[in-house]
Structure 1
Amino acid sequence: MKFFKSLHFQVFASIIIGIVFGYLYPALGTEMKPLGDAFIKLIKMIIGPIIFCTIVCGIAGMGDMKKVGRVGGKALLYFEAVTTFSLFFGILLVEVLKPGQGMNIDPSTLDASSVAAYAQAAQTHTVGQFFMNIIPNTVIDAFAKGEILQILLFSIIFGWALSKMGEKGRPLLQIINDVSQTFFKIVDIIMKLAPVGTFGAMAFTIGAYGIGSLSNLLKLLGTFYLACFLFLMIIIGPIAKWAGINFFHYLNYFKEELLVVFGTASSESVLPRMMEKLEKLGCSKSIVGLVIPTGYSFNLDGTSIYLTIAAIFLAQATNTDLTFTQEATIIAVLLLTSKGASGVTGSGFIVLAATLSSMPSIPVGALALIFGVDRFMTQGRALTNLVGNGIATFVVARWENELDYDKMQVIASNGKRSTKHELV
């Protein structure tokens, strides 16, 4: 009976019910969209304050800005290395399996009106604009819009200033710490609605796009999900082992968050819970506060895999022959454009459109070919991004010797010295 009351069972059941409901009643299924959107909005409502409190407490608590710079530098170095590898990994697999070969699509016959908005948005998706957007117009504007990197920047500056106040800043630091605990309690309350949110999101996806829409592009979906699976097993798994983490136990411990992300197709839906559970598992507050929010913009392994596979697939489907130099250029462009693929609705599609715009050999209008199944790849992108960011936190924590393995064992085994659910 306890199993049926668990959140992961309820979320799993809601996903199945949502799929069946959307398939049997597609019109009603599309009307369930507000349920999923409302749950994600509730979570986003609390992300900004939690990031602020966590980072301020972490930085002011350790009082060493050199360490903040060192941690941030290590995190960005890791992000760049892993995402670069994910880009090459995606392009290697799509070249081997060739999911688009033989489709012989004439781009002029495609209805590009469905992707016109994304192509237009891509024109303003530049690297310079991305970095300028890190600086908020006002502090309130950053929190009002929920811009993670803007909140991150302000939080670092605020924490730095508070640390310089010394003992005078201690009372304020304690208040912020207490407030953060309240915010995490709010997250626990909101998460009780996760089954409702995942049901609405899945019912809408199946109702709006239909399972039948998958058949024509099944090979593309298979290639993408196989790439994500192999990347996690071959690359992220060994990295986790190096950090002292049993990868499969890690997946088991975060199964509730993974199910919620799969159901809502949004990794942001569990960002606060990931921060809370990583801290409980032994990663220091300062490491969690810096790595997770930054990773949501700079460590997008799943999105990187999607971008290379989708770009080369469209070239194959439209019989566009790409030279080695052109493929290398695609990777170079994606190394820059993929860093802004977060926090924006349809961001992966926008980044793909921006990349194709810089590669005139692949027609942007070909995006219409994968528009109908893009939603079904969103889950894979979000799941891979989430898993990668969690492991990245453990890696940086180990580099800084701020990973408490004893605490991890106790928490992961529900307070008992049992090896059944340990992560190490």
Structure 2
Amino acid sequence: MRQRFASLIQHSGFWILIAAAVGVVCGLLNIPAINDLATGIGELFIRLLKLVSTPIIFFSVLSTLCGMGNLQQAGRLGGRVIRYTLLTTVIAATIALSLFLILDPAGGLSTPPEANPAQNAPQTGYWQYALNIVPESFLTPFVEGQVISVLFLALIFSLAILSIPDERRQRLQVLFDDIFAAVMKLTSGILKLLPAGVWAFVTTFVVSLGQDDVGRQLALYFACIVLANLVQAMVVLPLLLSLKGLSPWQIFRGMLPALTVAFFAKSSSAALPVAMEAAKDRLGVSSRVARFSFPLCTTINMNACAGFILITVLFVSMLNGMSFSTAELIAWIAIATIAAVGNAGVPMGCFLLASTLLATMNVPIELMGVILPVYALIDMLESAINVWSDACVTCIVDRESAEEERASDASAA
């Protein structure tokens, strides 16, 4: 019994649960000094995670692709990740549209007084967004935390390295592997502070619950988004795992530390180091797949974001007098999918992107200020579901890659 208890307290999950419980108590006490301490520790922990997140993305993709040896092998792995990313994101947007039409949150509310269009709102189109992916300086994406630009740099460098002679490529691969190992060693040290970070996140979250007021007029809107996310997380993704012969419960338990960080940090990028470690150490995902799939998924696999963008844009637009035909509603599935793929996994990323889309449509965005307190809660759920989707895609890709390798070895024998 003593040995079992000693083994339990050495497990990181035990201390995370203890930290969360203490955080609930501290949040309910609502002592200003403790609140300030929790805010400071939470901000410090998020900064430390963001400090290593962009180097992890760059060097993990670079070292993994350089080790593949040819473009064909890299294309197969990347193709699988992108295929399941698009599949799950389209399904998420479709579920969101279906629930929006069933619950009809905009129909149950009165139209607010007419407001002037947001004339000064940024009118950024997708062409400009695509141009912004290509940085003017190599260091700019790392300094500003531009995740998708970091991924772009890693991919073009990898393609260039794969085209040079094998001798030089192998030397670079060893170099990048060593740098990546050093970055992950630093990450392991940061992750030892995870219980302190969870305590800080839970404390500030419980305090904020007493300050946010979700109005009755937003109840259907809130329910629509939450239901869409829960259906995606608890039905669609587990079903996809089961079809591939994987255990959803086992994968959920293995990824629990990463899901906890994503939930309270409200950032899938901040949870990236924890997610990669959990997938490799707790689920046995191959290092090659985890180091390639998670950085790519963190950048483009935003299931929950697609649902939020679709529901929010339709909700705010309809409240401002706009109407949509059946064809236009279906088109919004594609628009929300594209927007989610282009969204960075940072706090409030979906909210800002939805606001930009509304401004581009010349829809008054004053209502987004009313939605903001609700989004503080939605953002936490979305971040966790995005990381859960990343884990599901990664595990499926790992299973298919392993099966392909076994079939190749069998045919060679």
| TM-score calculated relative to the size of structure 2 | 0.83
- Worse overlay, 316-325 or 201-210: 316-325
Conserved? CA contact 2:255–2:391, under 8 Å: no
Conserved? CA contact 2:266–2:347, under 8 Å: no
Picking from 77, 80, 83, the partner of 1:74 is: 80
CA offsets, 1:126-179, max 9 Å, x none?
322332222222222232223222222322333344442423443443243233
Counterpart in the other structure of 2:242: 241
Counterpart in the other structure of 1:305: 307
Amino acid at match of 2:293: V
156 and 17 in structure 1: CA distance in 2 versus 1, 3 angstrom threshold = same
- Worse overlay, 35-44 or 277-286: 277-286
Task: Output the CA distance in 1 between the equivalents of 2:357 and 2:55.
Answer: 34
Counterpart in the other structure of 1:288: 290
Conserved? CA contact 1:125–1:351, under 8 Å: no
Picking from 101, 104, 122, the partner of 1:95 is: 101
Matched, 1:252 2:253: yes
In the TM superposition, what is the alpha-carbon distance from 1:246 to its structure 2 partner?
A: 0.5
Counterpart in the other structure of 2:409: none
Which runs of structure 2 are paired with 1:39-54 in the superposition (5 Å)? 39-54=45-60
290 and 135 in structure 1: CA distance in 2 versus 1, 3 angstrom threshold = farther
Task: Output the CA distance in 2 between the equivalents of 1:326 and 1:363.
Answer: 20
Task: Output the CA distance in 2 between the equivalents of 1:179 and 1:24.
Answer: 45
Amino acid at match of 1:262: F
Task: Output the CA distance in 2 between the equivalents of 1:332 and 1:51.
Answer: 27
Task: Output the CA distance in 2 between the equivalents of 1:346 and 1:141.
Answer: 21
Counterpart in the other structure of 1:170: 170
Counterpart in the other structure of 2:203: 203
Counterpart in the other structure of 1:392: 393
Conserved? CA contact 1:303–1:338, under 8 Å: yes
315 and 28 in structure 1: CA distance in 2 versus 1, 3 angstrom threshold = farther
124 and 340 in structure 1: CA distance in 2 versus 1, 3 angstrom threshold = farther
3-state SS, counterpart of residue 366 of structure 2: helix
In the TM superposition, what is the alpha-carbon distance from 1:375 to its structure 2 partner?
A: 0.7
- Worse overlay, 246-255 or 319-328: 319-328
In the TM superposition, what is the alpha-carbon distance from 1:15 to its structure 2 partner?
A: 3.5
In the TM superposition, what is the alpha-carbon distance from 1:254 to its structure 2 partner?
A: 1.1
Matched, 1:59 2:58: no
Task: Output the CA distance in 2 between the equivalents of 1:139 and 1:270.
Answer: 24
In the TM superposition, what is the alpha-carbon distance from 1:359 to its structure 2 partner?
A: 4.2
Q: Any gaps of 5 or more consecutive residues in structure 1?
A: 406-424
Amino acid at match of 1:258: L
Counterpart in the other structure of 1:147: 146
15 and 315 in structure 1: CA distance in 2 versus 1, 3 angstrom threshold = farther
Amino acid at match of 1:52: F
Counterpart in the other structure of 1:223: 224
In the TM superposition, what is the alpha-carbon distance from 1:208 to its structure 2 partner?
A: 4.4
In the TM superposition, what is the alpha-carbon distance from 1:124 to its structure 2 partner?
A: 4.9
315 and 64 in structure 1: CA distance in 2 versus 1, 3 angstrom threshold = same
Counterpart in the other structure of 1:269: 270
Conserved? CA contact 1:94–1:223, under 8 Å: yes
Conserved? CA contact 1:26–1:208, under 8 Å: no
Task: Output the CA distance in 2 between the equivalents of 1:250 and 1:284.
Answer: 14
Task: Output the CA distance in 2 between the equivalents of 1:363 and 1:329.
Answer: 22
317 and 199 in structure 1: CA distance in 2 versus 1, 3 angstrom threshold = farther
CA offsets, 1:362-399, max 9 Å, x none?
54222122111111001111011111111112233344
Task: Output the CA distance in 2 between the equivalents of 1:141 and 1:166.
Answer: 30
In the TM superposition, what is the alpha-carbon distance from 1:322 to its structure 2 partner?
A: 4.2
Amino acid at match of 2:344: S
Task: Output the CA distance in 1 between the equivalents of 2:370 and 2:222.
Answer: 13
Task: Output the CA distance in 1 between the equivalents of 2:114 and 2:169.
Answer: 64
21 and 95 in structure 1: CA distance in 2 versus 1, 3 angstrom threshold = farther
CA offsets, 1:308-342, max 9 Å, x none?
23334445666765442443343343233222221
Amino acid at match of 2:249: F
In the TM superposition, what is the alpha-carbon distance from 1:271 to its structure 2 partner?
A: 0.6
Amino acid at match of 2:20: I
Conserved? CA contact 1:205–1:375, under 8 Å: no
Task: Output the CA distance in 1 between the equivalents of 2:186 and 2:231.
Answer: 36
Amino acid at match of 1:248: W
Task: Output the CA distance in 2 between the equivalents of 1:17 and 1:317.
Answer: 42
CA offsets, 1:87-113, max 9 Å, x none?
110111122233455332525599x9x
Matched, 1:7 2:12: yes
Task: Output the CA distance in 2 between the equivalents of 1:63 and 1:330.
Answer: 40
- Worse overlay, 3-12 or 21-30: 21-30
Conserved? CA contact 2:106–2:318, under 8 Å: yes
Task: Output the CA distance in 2 between the equivalents of 1:204 and 1:53.
Answer: 33
3-state SS, counterpart of residue 20 of structure 2: helix
Amino acid at match of 1:92: S
Task: Output the CA distance in 2 between the equivalents of 1:134 and 1:246.
Answer: 37
Counterpart in the other structure of 2:185: 185
Q: Any gaps of 5 or more consecutive residues in structure 2?
A: 407-413
Conserved? CA contact 1:341–1:351, under 8 Å: yes
- Worse overlay, 328-337 or 341-350: 328-337
- Worse overlay, 340-349 or 85-94: 340-349
- Worse overlay, 386-395 or 195-204: 195-204
Conserved? CA contact 1:209–1:372, under 8 Å: no
